[in-house]
Amino acid sequence: MSGKPAARQGDMTQYGGSIVQGSAGVRIGAPTGVACSVCPGGVTSGHPVNPLLGAKVLPGETDIALPGPLPFILSRTYSSYRTKTPAPVGSLGPGWKMPADIRLQLRDNTLILSDNGGRSLYFEHLFPGEDGYSRSESLWLVRGGVAKLDEG
Protein backbone atom coordinates (compact mmCIF):
# COMPACT_ATOMS: atom_id res chain seq x y z
CA MET A 1 0.00 0.00 0.00
CA SER A 2 2.78 2.40 -0.95
CA GLY A 3 4.24 2.28 2.55
CA LYS A 4 1.27 4.22 3.95
CA PRO A 5 -1.10 2.86 6.61
CA ALA A 6 -4.79 2.38 5.86
CA ALA A 7 -7.72 4.16 7.55
CA ARG A 8 -11.48 4.56 7.26
CA GLN A 9 -13.61 7.60 6.50
CA GLY A 10 -13.91 9.57 9.76
CA ASP A 11 -10.44 8.59 11.04
CA MET A 12 -7.80 11.26 11.60
CA THR A 13 -4.80 11.84 9.33
CA GLN A 14 -1.28 12.10 10.73
CA TYR A 15 -1.63 15.90 10.66
CA GLY A 16 -4.85 15.95 12.69
CA GLY A 17 -7.32 16.33 9.83
CA SER A 18 -10.33 14.06 9.53
CA ILE A 19 -10.90 11.89 6.47
CA VAL A 20 -14.27 13.24 5.33
CA GLN A 21 -14.62 12.17 1.72
CA GLY A 22 -14.65 8.71 0.18
CA SER A 23 -16.22 5.40 0.94
CA ALA A 24 -16.66 3.98 4.40
CA GLY A 25 -14.18 1.30 3.39
CA VAL A 26 -10.42 1.42 3.62
CA ARG A 27 -8.63 4.67 2.75
CA ILE A 28 -4.89 5.22 2.38
CA GLY A 29 -2.84 7.74 4.37
CA ALA A 30 -4.17 7.77 7.97
CA PRO A 31 -2.33 6.99 11.22
CA THR A 32 -1.22 3.44 11.92
CA GLY A 33 -3.93 1.28 13.42
CA VAL A 34 -6.62 -1.23 12.56
CA ALA A 35 -7.92 -0.33 9.12
CA CYS A 36 -11.33 -1.90 9.45
CA SER A 37 -13.20 -4.53 11.38
CA VAL A 38 -13.66 -7.97 9.93
CA CYS A 39 -15.66 -7.71 6.71
CA PRO A 40 -19.23 -8.98 7.28
CA GLY A 41 -19.15 -11.34 4.29
CA GLY A 42 -15.60 -12.51 4.88
CA VAL A 43 -12.71 -12.07 2.52
CA THR A 44 -13.62 -13.37 -0.91
CA SER A 45 -10.78 -12.17 -3.12
CA GLY A 46 -7.23 -10.96 -3.00
CA HIS A 47 -4.45 -9.95 -5.32
CA PRO A 48 -1.93 -11.40 -5.53
CA VAL A 49 -2.58 -13.44 -2.36
CA ASN A 50 -5.45 -15.94 -2.39
CA PRO A 51 -7.04 -15.53 1.08
CA LEU A 52 -8.38 -19.09 1.16
CA LEU A 53 -5.03 -20.72 0.39
CA GLY A 54 -2.75 -18.07 1.84
CA ALA A 55 -0.77 -18.44 -1.36
CA LYS A 56 0.62 -15.89 -3.78
CA VAL A 57 -1.09 -16.42 -7.13
CA LEU A 58 -0.05 -14.65 -10.32
CA PRO A 59 -2.55 -14.90 -13.17
CA GLY A 60 -1.54 -16.15 -16.58
CA GLU A 61 0.87 -13.99 -18.52
CA THR A 62 1.56 -14.43 -22.21
CA ASP A 63 5.27 -14.15 -22.97
CA ILE A 64 5.27 -15.05 -26.67
CA ALA A 65 2.41 -15.21 -29.17
CA LEU A 66 3.20 -16.02 -32.80
CA PRO A 67 0.20 -15.89 -35.16
CA GLY A 68 -0.37 -18.41 -37.90
CA PRO A 69 -2.59 -21.31 -38.97
CA LEU A 70 -1.45 -23.09 -35.80
CA PRO A 71 -0.49 -20.23 -33.44
CA PHE A 72 2.34 -20.67 -30.95
CA ILE A 73 1.58 -19.20 -27.53
CA LEU A 74 3.90 -19.39 -24.53
CA SER A 75 2.14 -18.39 -21.31
CA ARG A 76 2.72 -19.10 -17.62
CA THR A 77 1.08 -18.85 -14.18
CA TYR A 78 2.48 -19.01 -10.65
CA SER A 79 1.14 -20.19 -7.31
CA SER A 80 3.23 -20.43 -4.16
CA TYR A 81 0.73 -23.10 -3.00
CA ARG A 82 2.24 -25.46 -5.58
CA THR A 83 5.66 -25.12 -3.93
CA LYS A 84 4.42 -26.56 -0.61
CA THR A 85 2.41 -29.48 -1.96
CA PRO A 86 3.58 -32.63 -3.70
CA ALA A 87 2.50 -31.07 -7.01
CA PRO A 88 4.75 -31.83 -9.96
CA VAL A 89 7.48 -29.29 -10.64
CA GLY A 90 6.97 -27.54 -13.98
CA SER A 91 9.56 -26.64 -16.61
CA LEU A 92 10.14 -23.23 -14.99
CA GLY A 93 10.58 -24.57 -11.45
CA PRO A 94 8.40 -25.01 -8.35
CA GLY A 95 5.11 -23.13 -8.43
CA TRP A 96 5.24 -22.27 -12.15
CA LYS A 97 2.96 -23.87 -14.73
CA MET A 98 2.64 -23.63 -18.51
CA PRO A 99 0.02 -25.21 -20.79
CA ALA A 100 2.78 -27.41 -22.23
CA ASP A 101 3.65 -28.84 -18.79
CA ILE A 102 2.08 -32.27 -19.25
CA ARG A 103 3.98 -35.37 -18.13
CA LEU A 104 3.33 -39.09 -17.99
CA GLN A 105 5.36 -41.05 -15.44
CA LEU A 106 5.52 -44.79 -14.71
CA ARG A 107 5.90 -45.60 -11.02
CA ASP A 108 5.41 -49.02 -9.42
CA ASN A 109 2.95 -50.28 -12.05
CA THR A 110 1.01 -47.00 -11.87
CA LEU A 111 0.81 -44.33 -14.56
CA ILE A 112 0.74 -40.76 -13.26
CA LEU A 113 -0.48 -38.08 -15.66
CA SER A 114 0.56 -34.62 -14.44
CA ASP A 115 -1.68 -32.15 -16.24
CA ASN A 116 -1.04 -28.49 -17.01
CA GLY A 117 -3.14 -27.44 -14.01
CA GLY A 118 -0.70 -28.99 -11.56
CA ARG A 119 -2.87 -32.01 -10.76
CA SER A 120 -1.78 -35.66 -10.78
CA LEU A 121 -4.16 -38.24 -12.25
CA TYR A 122 -3.49 -41.92 -11.52
CA PHE A 123 -4.12 -44.80 -13.93
CA GLU A 124 -3.42 -48.52 -13.66
CA HIS A 125 -0.44 -49.75 -15.68
CA LEU A 126 -1.31 -50.16 -19.37
CA PHE A 127 0.18 -52.79 -21.63
CA PRO A 128 0.70 -52.07 -25.36
CA GLY A 129 -2.68 -51.66 -27.09
CA GLU A 130 -4.62 -51.13 -23.83
CA ASP A 131 -6.53 -48.07 -22.69
CA GLY A 132 -7.73 -46.63 -19.39
CA TYR A 133 -10.54 -44.21 -18.57
CA SER A 134 -10.82 -41.69 -15.73
CA ARG A 135 -14.51 -41.21 -14.90
CA SER A 136 -13.82 -38.16 -12.74
CA GLU A 137 -11.92 -36.39 -15.53
CA SER A 138 -13.75 -37.87 -18.56
CA LEU A 139 -10.31 -38.65 -19.95
CA TRP A 140 -9.00 -41.61 -21.92
CA LEU A 141 -5.37 -42.70 -21.74
CA VAL A 142 -4.35 -45.02 -24.59
CA ARG A 143 -1.06 -46.86 -24.98
CA GLY A 144 -0.08 -47.55 -28.56
CA GLY A 145 1.59 -50.64 -29.91
CA VAL A 146 0.70 -54.30 -29.94
CA ALA A 147 1.46 -56.92 -27.33
CA LYS A 148 4.12 -59.28 -28.69
CA LEU A 149 4.07 -62.92 -27.64
CA ASP A 150 7.28 -64.87 -27.22
CA GLU A 151 7.51 -67.56 -29.89
CA GLY A 152 10.01 -69.60 -27.95
- Helix/strand/coil for 84: helix
**Confidence bin at 15 (pLDDT 50/70/90):** low
The whole-number pLDDT of residue 139 equals: 86
What 20-29 contacts at long range (C-beta under 8 Å, 24+ apart), as own/partner pairs, is 28/1, 28/2, 28/4, 29/4, 29/5
The whole-number pLDDT of residue 37 equals: 40
122 close to 136: Cβ distance less than 8 angstroms: no
Closest CA to 80 of 120, 118, 42: 118
Is residue 51 reached through a cis peptide bond, with omega within 30 degrees of 0 on the bond before it? no
As a whole number, mean pLDDT of residues 71-85 equals: 77
Q: Which amino acid is at 59?
A: P
Domain residue extents for the chain = 1-37, 49-97, 103-142
The whole-number pLDDT of residue 69 equals: 92
Gap between the Cα atoms of 152 and 138, Å rounded: 41
